[in-house]
Amino acid sequence: MKLKGTPLQVKVWKYLMKIPKGKTKTYLEVAKAVGKPKAVRAVANAIGKNPYPIKIPCHRVIRSDGGLGGYSGPGGVKTKKKLLASER
């Protein structure tokens, strides 16, 4: 899969593909993992621009307070909730 985006977006999307099924990471954990611990908003924006929801499992990223956060794929947060439930 050829990913087109900014260097940060591509780095974030590649990292998301490494999150195992049934596991979640916070936006902060993703930011730290891609070497941008102070750029949580930029990382969240990159996640929101994911061109391939489900293939690039952005639904596995949640807020630090345990909230779901957003989901840019079809169906929004309702779909994110279903995807996470189906993986547990």
- Per-residue pLDDT averaged across 59-76, rounded? 94
CATH code for the part of the protein at 7-87: 1.10.10.10
Q: CA 26, CA 87: separation in Å to the nearest integer?
A: 17
User: Whole-model pTM?
Assistant: 0.92
Contact 76, 70 (CB under 8 A): yes
Selecting among 12, 19, 58, 83, the annotated active-site residue is 58
| 33 belongs to the catalytic site | no
Query: CA angle 34-55-58, nearest 5°?
Result: 45
Q: Which helix (H) or strand (E) holds 25?
A: strand 25-26
* Tens digit of each residue's pLDDT (9 = 90 or more) over 14-36: 999 999 999 999 999 999 999 99
